[in-house]
Amino acid sequence: MRYLEVRRHSARVKPSQHLSREGVDLARRIGATRGPFARVFTSPVTRAIETAVAMGFAIDEDLPALGTDHLPIVGPEVNFDGGFLAWATAARTGGETVPYVRSQADLWHRVATALDDGEAALLIGHEGIMEGGAVGCLPDEDHAAWGPMCGFCEGVRLRHDGQRFADVEILRVAI
C-alpha cells in the first residue's frame, strides 16, 4: 500500500497571507504526530508552504494545482457549507466541478503511484482541495458520511494499492 495525506493549510488571520501564531502552533502539533513522508508537496501560496515548514517537513515541490485557482471556477457550483456531499453532488451534476475533481484525482493518483510500497506523501492545499480530490478518487462512496468541509490542518488520508485508491480516512483536528 501507498498512502496519501492531503491537508488544508493552517490558520491565518485574513487578509494576511501568513499563518497566525495560533496557526503555527496548530501545524506544529499536527506535524509532531504525522509522518514520515517520502515526498511533501504544497501549493505555491505562502500559507501552505508555512504550514509544511511549521509541521517540520521539507518541501519537495510546490504544485500550482494545489492552489486557490479552483475557487472562482467551482465556487458557483459547490455549496461550501455542504461538505463532501456538496462536492459529490456538484461533480454528478456536471459543469466545471467535473474536470476539477478529475484533475485532482489524476494528480493524487500520479503522486501515489510514484511512491514505493509502504511510503506516504503529504500534500498541503486549500479549501476544497481535500473534498474535491477525495470525491474524485472515490466517487462511489457515501460522501455524506464523510462530513463537513475540512477546517485548518484537517484533511484526508487515502490508501492506494498501486492501481487505485482503496479507502479514505477523514482527518479531523481538535483545536
Spell out the per-residue pLDDT of the chain, length 175, in tens.
999 999 999 999 999 999 999 999 999 999 999 999 999 999 999 999 999 999 999 999 999 999 999 888 898 999 999 999 999 999 999 899 999 999 999 999 999 999 999 999 999 999 999 999 999 999 999 999 999 999 999 999 999 999 999 999 999 998 7
pTM of the model: 0.96
The whole-angstrom separation of Cα 13 and Cα 64 is 22
Count of structural domains within the chain:
1
Cell of 25: 502552533
- Residue-range definition of the domain harbouring residue 18: 2-171
The whole-angstrom separation of Cα 56 and Cα 100 is 30
CATH number assigned to the domain comprising residue 134: 3.40.50.1240
User: H helices within 16-172, ranges in order?
Assistant: 21-31, 46-55, 70-74, 83-93, 97-113, 129-137
What's the pLDDT score for residue 12? Answer: 94
What's the pLDDT score for residue 159? Answer: 98
What's the pLDDT score for residue 76? Answer: 92
The whole-angstrom separation of Cα 75 and Cα 78 is 5
One-letter amino acid for residue 66 of the chain: L
